[in-house]
Amino acid sequence: MDNLNHWLVAIFKCKSSVAEKTIVEFYSFVDALEGVRSLHFLIRDRIEDEVIFSFRVLVEHKLKDVIKSKLVYKLGTLLTPDKFAINPTTESILAKYLAWSPEKRISDFGQNKFSKFIDFLKDMSAIIVGLIEQDYFASSERIELSHVTSWMLGCTEYGLLSESGMEVGYYDRLKNKYCRYLSEKFTKKCDSYKVLPS
């Protein structure tokens, strides 16, 4: 992020039955706004019957307040106020769905690779919205697309589970290595397992 641009992040949740309609309508609205440089979204989680989205927008710095107010307005036409937040603070229950910060990714990978990462997410989001509009977004279709996308990237997700713990990560076919991103150790007590931090 530089002095000319500013990131806005909308975290919102909606009923799964209207998730596709909601993301297409919100995406189309934001994409048409003057001053929007880039946008993308992630489906971060599902809790009971609600799907949670993280929607990032890169905007011209001088228009950030105007665009933020428009995001609030549009989400307010789609959802009740307790279902969304723009740039949620750490006190917000929605803050944990931010996924990552631009500043940290730039620090870790550099501006050039970060820009490529953002361009990829932008392109993928546009593709996903197009698939929804073309009625090609059923479970079986999304699962198949997930498979072929992982094959194109040469990565396969794996999961290991035993009485002593669990591990989830990706196997990199090109480098022939396992990249773990989550692990937990279990301790047996009263015929149940307690999850402990690794």
**pLDDT values of the chain reduced to their tens digit, one per residue, 198 residues:** 567 899 999 999 999 999 999 999 999 999 999 999 999 999 999 999 999 999 999 999 999 999 999 999 999 999 999 999 999 999 999 999 998 889 999 999 999 999 999 999 999 999 999 999 999 999 999 999 999 999 999 999 899 998 889 999 999 999 999 999 888 988 765 444 444 444
The structural domains of the chain, ordered by start, are: 5-137 (3.30.70.100), 154-197 (no CATH)
Q: What percent of the chain lies above the pLDDT cut of 70?
A: 93
Give the CA-trace dihedral at 140, 144, 145, 148, to 10 degrees: 180
pLDDT tens column, 181-198: 888 988 765 444 444 444
Distances (CA, A) of 31 to 26, 36, 190: 8, 7, 53
**The token pair that represents 124 in the structure block:** 């993928």
Classify 48 in phi/psi space as left (phi over 0), alpha (psi -120 to 50) or beta: left
Nearest-10 crossing angle of helices 111-133, 19-31: 120
C-alpha 160: how far from chain center: 24
Beta-bridge partners for 178: 171
How far apart CA 159 and CA 183 sit, in angstroms, is 10
- Do residues 9 and 85 lie in contact, with contact meaning Cβ atoms separated by under 8 Å? no
- Could you report the per-residue pLDDT of 18-56, keeping only the tens digit for each? 999 999 999 999 999 999 999 999 999 999 999 999 999
Query: Do 40 and 122 form a contact (C-beta atoms < 8 A)?
Result: yes
CB–CB of 14/50 below 8 Å? yes
Give the relative orientation of helices 111-133 and 102-109 as an angle to the nearest 10 degrees.
130
Tell me how crowded residue 193 is: count the other CB atoms within 10 A of its CB: 16
